[in-house]
Amino acid sequence: MGDLNADMEKNTPPYTAWPAQPRQKWSKLTTWLAGLALALFLISQYHGRHVSFLPCRNKDRIDDWCPLPDAITPSGDGLRDSSHLMGTERHKLQAERLGTAVQVPTESFDDNGEVDEDPRWKTFDKFHQVLEELFPLVHSNLERQKVNKYGLLFKLQGSNTSLKPVLFTAHQDVVPAGSHAEWKYPPFAGHYDGTWVWGRGAADCKNVLIGLLSVMEDLLSQSFSPKRTIVLAFGFDEETGGVRGATRLNQVLLQQYGKDSFAFLMDEGGNGVKTLGDFMYAYPAVGEKGYYDAELRLTVRGGHSSKPPPHTGIGVFAQAIVALEDQPYTPVLPQWSPFRRALECNAKYSPHSVQPWLKDALLHDSEEVLARRLGEVLTADRWLMQTSQAVDVVTGGVKVNALPETVTVMINHRVALHESVDDVNRHIQSIVEPIAQKNGLQFRDLTKADSDLVSENSTLLAGTVELRSGQLLPPAPVSPTDNRVWAVFSGTLRSVFETSESGLNKTVVPVGNIMTGNTDTTHYWDLTRNIYRYSPARDGTRLDVHATDERMLMEAHLEGMRVYYDLIRNFDGLEDE
């Protein structure tokens, strides 16, 4: 996993000036530089196409911000252009495929039991049968492996085993649909109105799963035989953490391929494609915030409520909750933050669509001052710079005339990339411990290794407040955006979206960003450094995800298929470094 700052320092060369050299040494230096330039040019050629590497970035030069990759269109492999995936007939075919997949209610629940014990998992048997019927070529030509009964691994073996495989992932499960009466169309009808497919999972993320399998079916119909192995991995409990699905799939992939064995991994997620004037910004997520549930548990002596103390246990925790919410985490925008790169792109190419002071602030403001100013105007995006905290569960008391003896508070955190779970624990302790002491309570941090030690004076106190760790996940490592894999990945995005109907006469700017939520990629960190969380769809084409009336615009679904299709072809023609 490693330290993010250390990783960035390793991957980013220092910006140092050339030292003064005697005149007679310049001829050797010039020869060396010419040789280096020639070597870089040669290794960046494949199939007659040039892949440009992103230059070293000088944060003090606006011209160096946000270099654009070359648009890369596949050629020379005898396959049809990805534009053939668009059109009326394909539109109808994909609406039928996606609608059929939505009709199978693959809901996952927080209280699901094991796959062999809980009958609610059996709906996935039906879903697998539907996939077999929809994609006969995939099931007859790819090796399929079931992992923990319902996890799916597909492999199309490449002819060149020296090339790292590519890995595409998605999940089969959906969140529960809630009250069906609230939906415009029944959530598992897979209704197609001529433009949208409606239903639970239509946009999260059966659109991705069906899109990937449809692309493979199309390639196989053209007798596609890859040089580079292609792997598809589909979990079945992403919406509840991926413990039974992606975790087990990862174990199998590590056994079969080893660590750092894939060229890249592409999963759902990201921030789509947003249009600002003549520029379209494609935002794959190259990092994810961490996840941490902290529990505060207060234990005091009970008694009759006719003789209460100044503050009951609930009253003490009411003070603590107010204090925590009055002292939120500080937003910070580090120089290495992917969100900072996205802002630099916006400021450079769409200056009239951002705050007029942004460009100057990116150059001169401190990381804290800039984040604070941005947080005041970008209320949603402040969470890309700041650890969030939400008091979501409070329990305590069993009877109205009995003083509560135990009170529990659950606080959910999404940990910013520049912070850690330890930082969160220290923050909580700094606020809650003084309140506990003021009320005669002992504070105990049970998240530490020596947390089983109890103070000798604890028996003299009225009770305790304990800090305990719940589910936790550190922030994800940031995937690099200065290597050849990113150049091909982002160049493919440019090629596809600039040739889509909505992108004609526009420039597409691919730039990595951050996700505030988590995907199944949290289980796959050891497989590759190049992890891109990206559902390739324009803004406003995936609506009401996790909500009533979820739906997917079919034109955007087809555009996303073009991305998968061209990525497979471009990477099949690329020699590994």
**H or E element at residue 252:** helix 246-257
- Partner residues linked to 411 by β-bridges: 294, 391
Nearest Cα neighbor of 171 from 220, 225, 244 is 244
Q: Mapping DSSP to helix (H, G, I), strand (E, B) and coil, where does residue 212 land?
A: helix
Question: With helix as H, strand as E and coil as C, how does 123-154 read?
Answer: HHHHHHHHHHHHCHHHHHHCEEEEECCCEEEE
546 labelled ligand-binding: yes
Q: Mapping DSSP to helix (H, G, I), strand (E, B) and coil, where does residue 361 land?
A: helix
Q: At what angle do helices 554-572 and 88-102 cross, to 10 degrees?
A: 100
User: Measured on CA atoms in the order 78, 229, 97, 536, is the torsion positive or negative?
Assistant: negative
Q: Quick check: is 173 catalytic?
A: yes
Take residue 295 and report the two structure tokens written for it: 């529990």
The answer to whether the beta carbons of residues 221 and 122 sit under 8 Å apart is no
From the CB of residue 453, how many other CB atoms can be counted at a distance below 10 Å?
Answer: 9
Take residue 156 and report the two structure tokens written for it: 């199309």
The answer to whether the beta carbons of residues 53 and 482 sit under 8 Å apart is yes
Nearest Cα neighbor of 474 from 391, 414, 410, 384 is 414
**Which of the residues 107, 218, 237, 238 is marked catalytic?**
238
Dist CA 116 CA 571 (whole Å) = 39
Would you give the DSSP letter of residue 459? G
CA–CA–CA angle 254, 256, 262 (5° rounding):
65
User: Measured on CA atoms in the order 549, 554, 559, 561, is the torsion positive or negative?
Assistant: positive
User: Measured on CA atoms in the order 218, 223, 228, 233, is the torsion positive or negative?
Assistant: positive
Dist CA 212 CA 515 (whole Å) = 22
Cis geometry, peptide bond prior to residue 66 (ω within 30 degrees of 0): no
268 labelled ligand-binding: no
267 labelled ligand-binding: yes
Report how far apart the first and last C-alpha atoms of the chain are (Å, whole number): 23
**Which of the residues 173, 218, 381, 550 is marked catalytic?**
173
Q: Quick check: is 482 catalytic?
A: no
Binding site membership: which residues? 171, 204, 239, 267, 546
> Hey, which residues are catalytic here?
173, 238
Binding site membership for Zn(2+): which residues? 171, 204, 239, 267, 546
